[in-house]
Amino acid sequence: MAKKTWTLTDVAQDVYREELAISPADIETPGKFSIAKRRLHGGLRDGVDVIEVDNGRMRFVVVPTRGMGLWRAFCGDVHLGWNSPKNGPVHPAFVNLWEPSGLGWLDGFDELLVRCGLESNGSPEMNENGTLRYPLHGKIANIPAQNVEVSVDGASGEICVAGVVQETRLFFNKLQLTSTYTTKIGQPGFTVTDTVTNLWAEPSELELLYHINFGVPLLGPGSKAVLPVGKLAPRDQAAVANLAEWDIYGPESPGAPEAVFFVDLAAGNDGRTMTLLKNANSTRGVSLEFNKNQLPYFSLWKNRQAASDGYVTGFEPAINFPNKRSFEKSKGRVATLQPGESRSFEIAFTVHDTRESVADAEKAVAALQAGTEPEILGKPNPQWSAL
């Protein structure tokens, strides 16, 4: 029961497979699983590659065409993702990041997990002459992977989908993202492991934020964000107005502005921390585990529009807050990678599909909170918010 690897894309070797189906018949391993790769056709999806992994208990869809983003995930009757007005996944060819407002990134926003970066990841920023310098949330999510492979370890039942995406430009940053999604047969979750490497012979600057988005049916009136809070501050006045209910979700509210809260999470001595989103009756939920030594900052995004317009919340671990890049750099939150240097990041997703599992996750968050009194600021923190 050895490990077997299939190459789906290798640009340097001119290798590309449009379709692939892998099952236990292809490698001896206990348990049922399937991996299917295909190319979508029609509309804004035309030309998008997707890889669907089913580990027998959970399935999820990786999108190599969109920077190795994660489109949707399902575990029993728990659906992770949201209903975007864009009805993607959208091919990057239909996303104009450089349209004058700087908001073109929104034309492709449809994923459960989308990376924001790598050169920049916050609000649009303009040059002095009014032209766009940095678009909303950066470029990496709209760059197709140039290397993609899947592997199955017959002995352990481990399934991996890995891809390499390069955000490079003559005279500018040259950064490479190597991303791996790992799960095991029968597991109610998966782990995302990313490594960003500076390919340049000069220092490169890095911003990175994981925009992880949950909507209906997990999200609804009475749903709750369970976070181990060290310090929390509203981003702006719209968030100040929602501060009393920062962790509780209300009904769909057309016309209500988005509310964003910036958070310094409590963590264990080893830096490990955990967040949880649970439904109103505490029977379904999803948790994220990561290390603050890798991802020290966290944003909670609440978009309160109608479901048809994007009723969604974002759990967003990052190396910086999503402000204008110049503000983040002034606060020391833009990282620098020396030539050849790499930084790695890991986030573990776990689906909780019983009341008991949700309760166990809440206890784990409470253990991180123990001994730390949450500091809730009544107004934006000038060290965190550029607004």
Sequence-ordered list of residues with C-beta below 8 angstroms from that of 98, at least 6 positions apart, any chain = 104, 132, 135
How high is the pLDDT of residue 1? 61
Sequence-ordered list of residues with C-beta below 8 angstroms from that of 365, at least 6 positions apart, any chain = 226, 227, 228, 274, 275, 276, 287
How high is the pLDDT of residue 28? 85
Contact 93, 107 (CB under 8 A): no
- Identify the DSSP state of 355: H
CA-closest candidate to residue 353, choices 157, 216, 218, 159: 218
Length of the chain: 387
**Rounded Cα gap, residues 182 and 324, in angstroms:** 33
Residue 238 CB-density burial (10 A; 0-12 exposed, 13-18 middle, 19+ buried):
middle
Residue ranges in the chain whose pLDDT is less than 50:
none
**Rounded Cα gap, residues 282 and 204, in angstroms:** 44
In DSSP terms, 209 is beta-bridged to 116, 318
CATH number 2.70.98.10 given to 3-376: yes
262-275: per-residue pLDDT in tens? Answer: 999 999 999 999 99
How high is the pLDDT of residue 143? 98
Residue 341 sits at the vertex; the CA angle it makes with 335 and 344, to the nearest 5 degrees, is 70
**Rounded Cα gap, residues 276 and 127, in angstroms:** 39
210-236: per-residue pLDDT in tens? Answer: 999 999 999 999 999 999 999 999 999
In DSSP terms, 31 is beta-bridged to none
Domain residue limits, the chain: 3-376
Contact 70, 112 (CB under 8 A): yes
How high is the pLDDT of residue 125? 97
How high is the pLDDT of residue 30? 83
DSSP string across 236-279: SHHHHTTGGGTTB-----TTPPPEEEEEEE---TTSEEEEEEE-
